[in-house]
Amino acid sequence: MKKIKKFFAILLILAIGIAVINSQTDFFLNFGSYVPYLKENCPEVTESVSALSERLSRVTDYIPTPSELMAMIKQEDLPIDPSDVAVNAYIQNSPMLSFYPNENISMIADYDRIQIFGIVGSRSKSNLIAAFIDENGETLEQVSITANSENSFNKTISIPKTDGASVGVDVYTGDRPYGQFESWVYNYVKLVRDGNGGWVIEQSPVFEHNKAMYEKDKSIKEALKYTASIQSNSDSIISIAEQLTADKTTDYEKVLALHDWICSYMYYDVDSLASDEAPPYYATDIVKSRKAVCLGFATLMASLCRSIDIPCNVVSGYALGVGNDTAWTDISIATDEQNHAWNEVYVDGRWMIVDTTWDCANKIENGEMNKGEVSHLYFDANLQFFSNNHKILEYSKRR
């Protein structure tokens, strides 16, 4: 009996050891790379070990550590080692919707006028229309704005007269000063009365909540971690990231290259929303299929960033426009429902907000793949404007 107990104790210790090694290294996942002789002569063995390693990771990634378990019981956030905290140089009170220098738009309200200025990313967006919408959804006025030869624009517009308490501002772009225009800023910027007869840009009702979430300490190690779906140590993922960023000198340029590749290569799978079959969520599967929904986009972005040692978190939250709601209500302001996912990438001492799903115009709908132009409205987004349609709920740690 003692021998049997000793045998099972050894097996248990061995199993724990394997699980620890598997969670901390890629030894078993890329077993063939470490034992090339075996890979060459018995490829089925190395493939089986890799497959078992991935399945084990999917299990162990969801098992909390003792420290995490205690924090869950106490309903507390797990303390982060001060040396592991990513210092966040948060940019505040900027009129820019995004901080991307090559394509952005800013708005400043000054009593009865609004200044709209910025830079377009291409000549196809050189003609703009600013539309002012009343509380009933009726258009009060449309004003043309044209970018100059350097693709920049700047126009001050008198806010139309109205008896209402608010006015929506939509900005559309097109390649000609007439005809069909496509929404660029959507309909999430709103002007409200300031109490003195003038107008100000309304602050999102979820901004203070988002600011508190965004400013929380975040672990650099956690944002570099390999998980079952964020397969940042996969040879194929590493290869893609390295090829895309080979000629980039800064992390900002590298993240931009990854964003643009995802937004041009991937397709948002509209058909999957009405299907019982779940779209792929694991990075390697997503790359092969070229289709996903928001969590897949965010997972792939995190995988690519982490594979080249750029910290990146997957953020889950609630976004307007995913369903039928296009404005914050008491219910959506208070909701804990998650219907969207995006990323925060740690670059140049700050967490940069990136939503590849909303910057990707490619769609699979009714079985057809429709390609669109890559946007940068949600690349390096300003938290103040981002909060107009996004509410942060969770920084995912075990995807």
Q: How many CA atoms lie within 13 A of 59 on its CB side?
A: 8
DSSP 68-89: HHHHHHHT-PPP--GGGB----
Number of Cβ within 10 Å of residue 180's Cβ equals: 8
Helix or strand holding residue 264 (H, E): helix 251-265
Domains and CATH numbers, the chain: 2-60 (no CATH), 104-201 (2.60.40.10), 207-396 (3.10.620.30)
- Which residue shows structure tokens 């078993």? 28
Query: Strand 340-347 relative to strand 139-146: parallel, antiparallel, unpaired?
Result: unpaired
Beta-strand relationship, 267-269 and 291-292: parallel
Task: For residues 248 and 397, give the distance between their C-alpha atoms in angstroms, rounded to a whole number.
Answer: 28
- Please list, residue by residue across 335-354, b when 16 or more beta carbons sit within 10 angstroms of its beta carbon and e when fewer do: beebbbbbbbbbbeebbbbb
Q: What CA–CA distance (Å, rounded) separates 189 from 183?
A: 13
State which residues of the chain have pLDDT below 70.
Answer: 1-27, 29-33, 37-38, 54-82, 175-186, 397-399
| Residue 312, both tokens | 């990146």
Token readout for 377 is 């409205």
pLDDT at 195: 83
Candidates 309, 324, 334, 321; CA nearest to 386 is 321
Q: For residue 175, which of 102, 121, 107 has the smallest C-alpha distance?
A: 121
Q: Please answer whether residues 159 and 132 qualify as being in contact, where contact means their C-beta atoms are separated by less than 8 angstroms.
A: yes
Please list the residues that pair with 192 across neighbouring strands.
Answer: 166, 200
Count CB-CB contacts under 10 A for residue 296. 28
Order of all β-strands in the sheet with 390-396: 379-381, 350-354, 340-347, 312-319, 390-396
Give me the sign of the Cα torsion angle 52, 55, 60, 63: negative
Contact 202, 190 (CB under 8 A): yes
Pairing mode, if any, of strands 127-133 and 139-146? Answer: antiparallel
User: Distance of CA 155 to CAs 97, 185, 212, Å?
Assistant: 16, 16, 34
> How many Å apart are CA 139 and CA 247, to the nearest integer?
47
